[in-house]
Amino acid sequence: FTGSAFGSAAIWQYESLKSRVQTYFEGARADWLDKIRPQKRGDFRKQVNSWWNNLTEGQRTVTGIIAANVFVFCLWRLPGMRRVMFTYFTSDPSSKALCSPMLLSTFSHFSLFHMAANMYVLWSFSSSIVSLLGCEQFIAVYLSAGVISTFVSYVAKMATGKFEPSLGASGAIMTVLAAVCTKMPEAKLAIIFLPMFTFTAGNALKAIIAFDTAGLALGWRLFDHAAHLGGALFGMWYVTYGHELIWKNREPLVKAWHEMRTKNTGKGGG
């Protein structure tokens, strides 16, 4: 799954860049038409467009992720969907469904507070992580982080024999948080309810890893500490080594895709 995520992201980036170039030239030709074309009415539409355009690239990127989490949260409220939700949207190594919940459970929250807290952290770090990795690479890392953190949770549950269903985006978000804190350790952070107390991102990351390590070792059940720890370690590894090993070696795949696209375009007479 991780290989497919990064391969798709590389192709997506190629297509996005190609589309931007085409849009630029088409937009330059159409500029003079905009001056004589009657403007569309609708204050609400203008307000929505203005709000969207004022968002950073990172905030626009995570809007889709947040929308997916809200949609899944609403599905939990439907009584007829409970059986499906417990089977496919919670991760448990003793369940009959093993693979798909590793991804789907990272978009699943039963508690409104749990979802709101996770989405707030994701929104807060969205601009930093997307400016660091870019939109396409970030999506590949986020999806991979969800699967990898759930896999670490599976391993811990199998090792301890404690089979409990888990859900939530915390593992993937821990990857985002750890990646940003590793790259910008001197950045100042604060707790939402205690904004007067600030601390460096590096110290925050150390405290989080220590807390989840203790929770895993002592068998605390407050959170899925194994998933948190797996996500954090993956985030630290990726920005330190993974970017060089994976993303910077995408050229052969993109070249093969380009040649295939060019060949198909030539056959079509384009």
| Enzyme catalytic residues | 170, 228
Angstrom distance (rounded) from CA 84 to CA 72: 11
Distance between CA atoms of 22 and 263, rounded to whole angstroms? 19
In DSSP notation, 205-239 reads: HHHHHHHHHHHHHHT--SS-HHHHHHHHHHHHHII
Angle of helix 57-76 versus helix 112-133 axis, rounded to 10: 150
Cα–Cα distance measured from residue 68 to residue 90, given in angstroms and rounded to the nearest whole number: 15
- How is residue 34 annotated by DSSP? H
Other CB atoms closer than 10 Å to residue 266's CB: what's the count? 9
Interatomic CA distance for residues 136 and 14, integer angstroms: 10
What Cα–Cα distance (Å) separates residue 20 from each residue in 2, 13, 32, 123, 244?
27, 10, 19, 25, 26
Q: How far apart are the two ends of the chain, measured CA to CA in Å?
A: 34
- Closest among 217, 109, 209, 208 to 156, alpha carbons compared: 217
